[in-house]
Amino acid sequence: MHFLKRLAYTPLLLLVISLLAFLMVHAAPGGPFDRERSPASPEIRRQMEAAYHLDEPLWKQWLRYLGLVWEKDQAGHWRHAPASWDISLRYRNHSVGDIITQAFPVSLLLGALAFGFAMGVGLPVGFWSAARRGGWQDQLGSFFALFVVCVPGFAIAPVLILIFAVKWRLLPVALWGSPLHAILPTLALGLYYAGKVARLLREGMLSTMTAEFITAARAKGLSETSLLLKHAFRLAVLPVVSYSGPLIAELLTGSFVIENIFQIPGLGVYFVNSSLNLDYTVTVALAVLYAALLIFLNLAVDFTYTLLDPRVNYE
C-alpha cells in the first residue's frame, strides 16, 4: 500500500521537476542560437527564434513543451500544435528521443559494468578489512578504499590510459565498440564507487558486530566465519543496499568525465553539454529521466529493505 501510494505520487513529482528544470534553463542568459558568428542580418536571428517558438512568453512555451497548445491555422481552424519536448535545439536533425535512445544503452552498459566492478571489489574489500579489524589487512583495505575516494576521476582516467593504452598498448586508448574498449572506462568509473562501497560495508560490519545478537551467537560457539557471513553481513550490507539506489541512477545516466576522456557516446556528456549549450528540451528531458530513475530505484531499494530486514515496516 505504502509503495503504491508512492508510485501514484511519481507523475506529479516528475511534472514539478520538469517545470523546475524548464524554468531553470530558461532563466540562463543567452539562447541556443548564440554563436561566435551571427547571421548576416538580425532578421535571420529573429526568424530562427520564431521557428522554434523561443520568442513566445514562457508560460506558453511551457504549455507547448507539454503539447497543450491549440492554434488557429491559416484557414482559421483550431489545430493542435505539436509538443516541443522532442525537438533538440542543438542537434536539430535528431529528436530528443533519438538522442536518448542512442546514448542510454551505452551508459546502461558502462554503468552496469562499473556497478558490477564497484560491488565486486568493494564488498570483498570492505568485508575483509572488517573481518581483520585492526590488522594490517584492515589498514591496507581501508586505506585503499579511502584513497580511491580521494582521487578525482579526471586524474585517474588519463593515468590509466597512459599506462595501459599508450605505454603498454594493451588496451584501446579511447572510443567504444568492443569489450576491450570497456575495460579502462569501467575501472576508472568503478574505482571511486568501489571505495565508497567498501567503506560503507566495513562500517556497517563493525557496528553490527557489537550488536547483542552477534555476541549471543558468538557465545553459542558459532565459528567466526559463519558468524560474519551469515549474520553480520546480512545486516551490514543494508547501508550498501540503500546507497545502491542513487548509485545506480548516477551510473546509468553516465559520467561526464569518463565519457569525455574516453570518447564514449553515452548520456553523461549531455548532462553538461545540453545545459551549457542551452539545449532546453534535452536538459529538461534528462532531468526528468534522472529523477524518474532515482525515484524508481529508491522504491526498489526500500522494497528490498523490507525483504532483508524484517524489522522495517513502511505500513
Residues 31-50 that bind other proteins (CB under 8 A): 31-45, 47-48, 50
Polymer length of the chain: 315
The answer to whether 181 and 172 have CB atoms below 8 angstroms apart is yes
- Shorter beta-carbon distance to other proteins: residue 26 or 222: 26
Binders of other proteins among residues 56 to 85 (CB under 8 A) are: none
Where does this chain touch other proteins (CB under 8 A) — which range of 60-68, 127-135, 173-181, 221-229? Answer: 173-181
Binders of other proteins among residues 210 to 229 (CB under 8 A) are: none
Of the candidates 75, 195, 186, the residue with the CA atom closest to the CA atom of residue 145:
195
Binders of other proteins among residues 98 to 157 (CB under 8 A) are: 98-99, 102-103, 105, 109, 113, 116, 120, 146-156
- State yes or no: residue 278 binds other proteins (CB under 8 A): yes
Give the bridge partners for 79, in sequence order. 71
Where does this chain touch other proteins (CB under 8 A) — which range of 11-19, 61-69, 72-80, 227-235? Answer: 11-19
Give me the least distance between CB of 307 and other proteins, in Å please. 13
Q: CB pairs under 8 A, 24+ apart, for 41-45?
A: none
x/- site string to other proteins, residues 222 to 261, per CB under 8 A? ----------------xx--xx-xxx--x--x-xxxxxxx
The answer to whether 161 and 174 have CB atoms below 8 angstroms apart is yes
Give me the least distance between CB of 180 and other proteins, in Å please. 5
The answer to whether 287 and 271 have CB atoms below 8 angstroms apart is no
Where does this chain touch other proteins (CB under 8 A) — which range of 57-65, 66-74, 126-134, 289-297? Answer: 289-297
Q: Which of 16, 68, 216, 229 binds other proteins (CB under 8 A)?
A: 16
How far, in Å, are 1, 134, 287, 314 from residue 6 at the CA level? Answer: 9, 43, 19, 11
Give me the least distance between CB of 221 and other proteins, in Å please. 28
- State yes or no: residue 170 binds other proteins (CB under 8 A): no
- Shorter beta-carbon distance to other proteins: residue 5 or 220: 5
